[in-house]
Amino acid sequence: MSTPDNNQPNTGRSEVLSLERHRSLRFHKANNFAFAASWLYVPVHNQEASRLAGQFPILFYPLPNGGAMPCMLLKSKDRSAFSTQMHWQGGILPDVLRLYPFGFHRDQKRSSLAVYPTAPHFRGNGEKIITSKGKPTRRLQGIIKALAPIQQAFDQTQPIMQELLALNVLQPVTFSLLRADGTRARVSLLACPDTAVIKQQSLSPALRTLLYVHQQSCRRLFKHAHMPTAAANTKANTGTVAPANVHELARTVCDRFSVSLDDLKSRKRSDIIKQARHTLAVEARDSSQLTELAGLLQRSVDTLRKWI
């Protein structure tokens, strides 16, 4: 049996950004996503998992330190996130792809701005990201500002994943898929096909929601993937499972975006409130609870659909 092809991070080699060592880099935007042609999946954070789950399966990838984080496959049985011209056709763009070749590097409890120096965005002509005086350019300052909430979202995902790992319910799932560059790869990730787990009363609302979108997005995948023998003997019901109720969904979204239920009910239109409404409406739609959410927020179902 061949070894799975995702032993190394598919986003390439990252380095903590050094204002001295990387001052010669010249940045330009890529015309397409050819740089990701060999990628098997892309890391995602908890806040975007619900929005992305309707596009491609959400699973979990193992970290070298024994942890795990959510990820989105870039290919399903009959769909690819990239067109033949390597343009994005996967709906909402995951934050890691949107901000690549910049990201952040975690070292224990500290996160630092990172860069992928071998990315094609740094080949050929481009604009400086570090001035001759060793300071971030306006372009880099904008990138740092855009990365800040994404870094925070990934940091907030870690305790949710720690809660999930403590349950000891994740198991390896191996399957084969065709990369965008035409090569076939065997992928080994982590999954929780046991729908009984989501019914445990001790789960936090955030973890319950994450498990729900994971299991719903992977229903077809579980039928074709190779699972361990012990798991194969477990008759997991891959039909509809009990999602977090609408009150739990609302509470989780309010916590994510630091808004209140009254904010969501109000006529306020700040960016953060609009993002929270969008996320909540998507999660309610995906769990068939739009009518219940409309009653909770004292809005019409049509209004909620406009938020999506």
pLDDT at 253: 78
Tell which wins on pLDDT, 191 or 257: 191
Task: Pick 46 or 254 by higher pLDDT.
Answer: 46
Higher pLDDT pick, 69 / 110: 69
CB 193 within 8 A of CB 231: yes
Q: Which amino acid is at 68?
A: A
Residue range 175-192: mean pLDDT, rounded: 82
**Domain chopping of the chain, boundaries:** 16-238, 245-308
Q: How confident is the model at residue 229 (pLDDT cuts 50, 70, 90)?
A: very low
- Is residue 170 within 8 A of residue 191, CB to CB? The reply is yes
Look up residue 257 and give its two tokens.
């975006």
Percent above pLDDT 70 for the chain: 88
**Please, are residues 171 and 214 in contact by the beta-carbon 8 Å criterion?**
no
Angle, CA of 274, 275 and 280, to the nearest 5°? 100
Lowest-pLDDT range of 192-201, 220-229, 240-249, 296-305? 240-249
Chain centroid offset of residue 296 CA: 28
Against a cut of 0.85, is the pTM above it? no
